Amino acid sequence: MKFKDINIKTTRSIKKLKNRFFLPAFMRDMKHMGIGGLSGGNKVAIISEGDRFFDSILSSIAKAKKSINLETYIFSSDNVGMLVAQKLSERARAGVEVNVIYDSVGSIAASSQMFSMMREAGVEVIEYHPFVPWRKYWGLSFRDHRKILVVDGVKAFVGGINIGKEYAGNKYKGDSWRDTHVMVEGPAVKDIQYFFMENWYRNGGAVMNAGLYFPDIKKTDDKLLMVLCARSRRNVRPVHESYISAIKNARQTIYITNAYFIPDARIFRNLVRAAERGVDVRLLLPGKSDIAFVKLASMYLYKRYLKHNIRIFEYQRSILHAKTAVIDGVWSTVGSSNLDRRSFRKNLEMNVAVLDQEFGEEMESMFLRDLEKSREIILAELQRRSLYLFLLEWLCYRFRNFF
C-alpha cells in the first residue's frame, strides 16, 4: 500500500473516532426534545444540477405505476413547468393517482390554464392557502415552502428546487440557479409520504387508498436519515433544533450554504461559540440574490461574523438558492428551510438530515467546489462601505420580520 493511501486511511479512521462523540450527543438532544423521524437502511443521492434534477423527476414520473405526490412552493407555467404538468397529466390519464399541492403566493404568476389542464386530465390539485382580502394580511403569511415529490411510495425527492426554468441548465434553457436536492430510497420515504398526506388532508384533499401510497419498503443501503419539518405538534421546531444541536456539538467544521441567511439569536450565539472553541465555521451566501431586501438584511450581520472568525463567502456563478449544511463531515442537511424567522415560524418546510460519514464527505466536497466559484468577504472591505449602504442594511435588518 502506498504512503498516500495509508495517510488517507489513517485520516478517515481518526475522523471516525472523533465522530463517535458527535452522533451520540446529537441523538440525545433529539430524543430529549421528542424529535423522531429517524430511519436506517436508506439510499441518498445528491442532485446539485438543475438539468439532472428535472431529468430525474421527469423519468420517475414517467415510470410511475400507482401514485405521484408533488408538493411545491413555485409551480411555474414556463417551458419547464408546462413539461412537468404535461407529464403528470399523461400519468393521470394512464390511471396513476396524481396529487399536487402548490402554494398560492409562490405560484401567483403561474397560468391558471396549466392547473385546469391537469385537473381535466384527472390530477387532483390543491392550492395552498389562497390569499383573500378578508384574512389578516390577506393570508400572505404561513406559506407552503416545501419541495417534495414521492413516486409510488418508494422514491422521494426533497430539497430546495422549485418547478421552474430558473433552476434548469442549458438542456431546458434555464438560468442555472445553484440549488441542491436529494433523492431518497428506503424506509425514510414513508416519513416523507406521511408529511405530504397530512398536509393533503388538512387542506381538504380527497381520501386516498393508503395501500397505493405506503407499500412495504425494504432497506436499500446503509444511510441513517431523519425527516424533519419546521414545526411539530409539541410546538418544537425540528429543523431549527437539529441545526442548533449539530452546531453545539461540532468539533471540527461547520459548512453552511443558505440562500436567505438571517439567523436568530440562538443560532448566532452557537456559531460564535463554535468558532471560539476552534471550529472552522464557513458560510456560503449569495453574491447575487433574487430578493435584494433579504440580501441587504443578511449583510448587516457580516461584520459580527467576521469579528468572531466566522468566514463568509459569496457565490458568484449564478443566484444561490440552496439550503444545505454539513457539520464535522458526519451530519448533513438538505431541504427547503432557510435560516431565517419565516422558515422556522411561518412556513411549512422539510429537510432531511443524513447521519453518515461517506455522505458527509460528498457534501463537504460539494461545498468546497462551490467555494472555488465564490469570493471571500474580508473585514477591511466591510469597514470601507459607504454610510448609505450601512443604513440600508440596518433598515432592512430591522424590518426583516415583516417579510
Q: Give the pLDDT confidence of 84-105 residue by residue, as tens digits.
A: 999 999 999 999 999 999 999 9
152 has catalytic annotation: yes
11's CB contacts (< 8 A; 6+ apart) are none
Look at residue 7 and give its three-state secondary structure.
helix
Work out whether strand 323-327 and strand 331-335 pair parallel, antiparallel, or are unpaired: antiparallel
DSSP class of residue 19 equals: H
pLDDT (0 to 100) of residue 12: 53
pLDDT (0 to 100) of residue 139: 56
Class at the top of the CATH hierarchy for domain 45-213: alpha beta
Q: Catalytic residue among 78, 103, 152, 356, which?
A: 152
Give domain limits for the chain: 3-41+223-402, 45-213
Q: Catalytic residue among 147, 155, 165, 295, which?
A: 147
pLDDT (0 to 100) of residue 6: 43
321 has catalytic annotation: yes
Contact 200, 101 (CB under 8 A): yes
pLDDT (0 to 100) of residue 233: 65
Dihedral pair phi/psi, residue 63, rounded to 5°: -95, 0
Q: Catalytic residue among 323, 340, 356, 370, which?
A: 323
Q: Please tell me the distance from the alpha carbon of residue 89 to that of residue 157, in angstroms, as a whole number.
A: 19
Residue 248 grid coordinates: 453545539
Q: What distance, in Å, lies between the first and last C-alpha atoms of the chain? A: 58
308 has catalytic annotation: no
Residue 22 grid coordinates: 458527535
Contact 146, 336 (CB under 8 A): yes
Return per-residue pLDDT of the chain as tens, 403 residues. 444 444 545 455 545 545 667 888 999 999 999 898 899 999 999 999 999 999 999 999 999 999 999 999 999 999 999 999 999 999 999 999 999 999 999 999 999 999 999 999 999 999 999 877 666 555 567 899 999 999 999 999 999 999 999 999 999 999 999 999 999 999 999 999 999 999 999 999 999 888 889 999 999 999 999 999 987 766 789 999 999 999 999 999 999 999 999 999 999 999 999 999 999 999 999 999 999 999 999 999 999 999 999 999 999 999 999 999 999 999 999 999 999 988 988 899 999 999 999 999 999 999 999 999 999 999 988 888 888 898 999 999 988 866 5
Q: Please give the model's pTM, rounded to 2 decimal places.
A: 0.93
Q: Catalytic residue among 321, 340, 356, 370, which?
A: 321
Superfamily of domain 3-41+223-402: Endonuclease Chain A (3.30.870.10)
- Taking each helix axis from N to C end, the angle separating 3-32 and 238-249, rounded to the nearest 10 degrees, works out to 130
pLDDT (0 to 100) of residue 37: 82
pLDDT (0 to 100) of residue 3: 40
Mean pLDDT for all residues in the chain: 91
Work out whether strand 253-258 and strand 323-327 pair parallel, antiparallel, or are unpaired: antiparallel
Q: Please tell me the distance from the alpha carbon of residue 322 to that of residue 49, in angstroms, as a whole number.
A: 11
- Write the secondary structure of 347-388 as one string of H (helix), E (strand) and C (coil): CECEEEEEECHHHHHHHHHHHHHHHCCEEEECHHHHHCCCHH
52's CB contacts (< 8 A; 6+ apart) are none
Q: Catalytic residue among 78, 103, 144, 328, which?
A: 328
Q: Catalytic residue among 145, 155, 181, 223, which?
A: 145
Given the C-alpha cell 459548512, which residue does it identify?
255
Give pairs for 388-394: CB < 8 Å, separation 24+. 392/296, 393/296, 393/297, 393/299, 393/300, 394/300
Output the CA angle 224-65-187, nearest 5 degrees: 15
303 has catalytic annotation: no
pLDDT (0 to 100) of residue 4: 47
Check for a shared fold between 3-41+223-402 and 45-213.
yes
Dihedral pair phi/psi, residue 289, rounded to 5°: -130, 150
328 has catalytic annotation: yes
